[in-house]
Amino acid sequence: MIKVEGNAKINLTLDILGKRPDGYHEVAMVMQSIGLSDTVEMEKTDGPIELTINVPWLKADEKNLAWRAAALIKEEYKLAGGVRMKLTKRIPVAAGLAGGSTDAAAVLRGMNELYALELSEERLCELGARLGSDIPFCLLGGTMLSTGRGEVLKRLPDLPATWVVLAKPRISVSTAWAYQNYDEQGAKDHPDNERIQQEIARGDRKAVAGLLCNVLESVTIKKYDVISQYKQMMMQQGAMASMMSGSGPTVFGLAESKETADRIATHMREHTDAYVYVIRTTGKVQ
Ligand SMILES: C[C@@](CO)(OP(=O)(O)O)[C@H](O)COP(=O)(O)OP(=O)(O)OC[C@H]1O[C@@H](n2ccc(N)nc2=O)[C@H](O)[C@@H]1O
Ligand SMILES: Nc1ncnc2c1ncn2[C@@H]1O[C@H](COP(=O)(O)OP(=O)(O)O)[C@@H](O)[C@H]1O
């Protein structure tokens, strides 16, 4: 039996450059791994793929991304055997934190190890991209510029470990819905991806915080005003910056110290019904 961990992500920036012929959007975004993880325990079997999940309402069937990742490897490498997987989810679902992609990435790595396939990172990323745009990033982790539909990656220096408070409101947002609505609405502000890369290279957290920008934020806020309320609350409690991650609805705040992060978290727990986490940014997958 092996145990594989996968970290969630936040988007420090998210820009949309246009619509592609394949229906996806051309993006340019700075992605950042965070220390909030799901765990997959995996065991080789002679039988089919089996999956259990600690979240009763999340279907553990062939549509689940963990299952699909195992099935893809099994099919691609004509494996006779199967795998028994126990998925422990801590990353909230449909939250803009790439939970499903994290699980798929963990299972791809796990299958590679269990079946001694010796697949390169490039190959794993190519397989991952077939299942979801964010999966290659989840395989590699750290701080990256992500372009194409999200699968073209450029490694950036790891952001110096930074305290992050997450507040996930009790609503879910569909990624497809957010992208679709962006087409009708557009965005006023766009991120400066060149400058943020320079500040990341200098390791200047405060400057990085000043450059957070996500073009999907106004789309999701239009439907769920609670997101702008959470942002304001985090700023009032001393966050360096606060923004929605991905297609939302999770709001994150960057804090200069653990004390500030804890203060923001306590305030969010006392004044909202959000799920609140205090974690740090993490580096690349080892
Ligand atoms: C918005 C982001 C930002 O990191 O994250 P989440 O909010 O999902 O965490 C990602 O772009 C999400 O990536 P991922 O969740 O892997 O998306 P996919 O499964 O590939 O696509 C889901 C749907 O989103 C839309 N989509 C996704 C990526 C992209 N570049 N253009 C799109 O238009 C498509 O409608 C697609 O059917
Ligand atoms: N292992 C998984 N964990 C979470 N969601 C999954 C998983 N497999 C499939 N899904 C589906 O993917 C959708 C998006 O979930 P998730 O990846 O958590 O969010 P996001 O795309 O916002 O980061 C969910 O609504 C769920 O139906």
Tell whether ligand 1 has an atom less than 6 A from the beta carbon of residue 101.
yes
pLDDT at res. 178:
97
Task: Examine the domain organization and report whether 69 and 107 are in the same domain.
Answer: yes
175 CA to centre of ligand 2 in angstroms: 10
Choose the residue to mutate in 93, 102, 275 for probing ligand 2, maximizing ligand atoms within 8 Å of C-beta: 93
62/51 Cα distance (integer angstroms): 9
**What distance in Å separates the CA atoms of residue 47 and residue 117, rounded to the nearest whole number?**
19
> How many angstroms separate the CA atoms of 91 and 8, rounded?
7
* Integer-rounded Cα radius of gyration of the chain: 19
Query: Are both 59 and 77 inside the same structural domain?
Result: yes
Domain containing 187: what range? 163-280
CB 165 within 8 Å of CB 265: yes
In sequence order, what are the beta bridge partners of 156? 143
Question: Is ligand 2 within 6 A of the CB of residue 66?
Answer: yes
Q: Mark whether 184 and 206 lie in a shared domain.
A: yes
Q: How many domains does the chain have?
A: 2
- The verdict on residue 183 lying in a domain is yes
User: Do 176 and 104 belong to one domain?
Assistant: no
Question: Tell me, what CATH number does 105's domain have?
Answer: 3.30.230.10
Q: Does the annotation mark 192 as catalytic? A: no
Distance of CA 286 to the CA centre of its chain: 18
Is 286 within a domain? no
Name the domain boundary from 129, 156, 183.
Answer: 156
Q: Is the same domain home to 174 and 91? A: no
**15 and 97 fall within a common domain:** yes
Residue 8 falls inside a structural domain: yes
pLDDT-flagged residues of the chain (< 50): none
CA 101, 105, 110, 116 dihedral sign is: positive
CATH assignment at residue 257: 3.30.70.890
Q: Are residues 8 and 144 in the same domain?
A: yes
* Token code pair at residue 173: 């947002």
Quote the pLDDT of residue 225. 97
Does 285 fall in a domain? no
Helix, strand and coil in the chain, % to nearest 5: 35, 30, 35
282 is in an annotated binding site: no
Q: Mark whether 122 and 152 lie in a shared domain.
A: yes
Q: How far apart are CA 254 and CA 256, in angstroms?
A: 7
Question: Measured from the CB, is residue 96 less than 6 Å from ligand 2?
Answer: yes
Nearest atom in ligand 2 to the alpha carbon of residue 173 is 22
Q: Are 146 and 174 contained in the same domain?
A: no
Catalytic option among 15, 38, 103, 134 = 134
- Cβ(247) to ligand 2 under 6 A? yes
Q: Is the CB of 141 under 6 A from ligand 1?
A: no
- Return the pLDDT at 286: 84
Same domain, 108 and 32: yes
Say whether 15 is catalytic.
no
The domain boundary, picked from 98, 126, 156, lies at 156
Percentage of residues of the chain with pLDDT beyond 90: 99
Specify which residues 10 forms β-bridges with.
32
Report the separation in Å between the CA atom of 257 and the middle of ligand 2, taken as the mean of its atom positions: 31
Instruction: Determine whether the annotation assigns residue 102 to a binding site.
Output: yes
Q: Which of 134, 156, 178 is the last residue of a domain?
A: 156
Residue 79: inside a domain, yes or no?
Answer: yes
- What is the Cα–Cα distance from 285 to 71, expressed in whole angstroms? 23
pLDDT tens sequence across 13-40: 999 999 999 999 999 999 999 999 999 9
Residues 16 and 63 in one domain: yes
Which mutation among 65, 125, 166, 175 tests ligand 1's pocket best, with the greatest number of atoms within 8 A of CB? 175
Q: Is 221 in the pocket of ligand 2 (CB under 6 A)?
A: no
**Does residue 135 sit in the same domain as residue 249?**
no
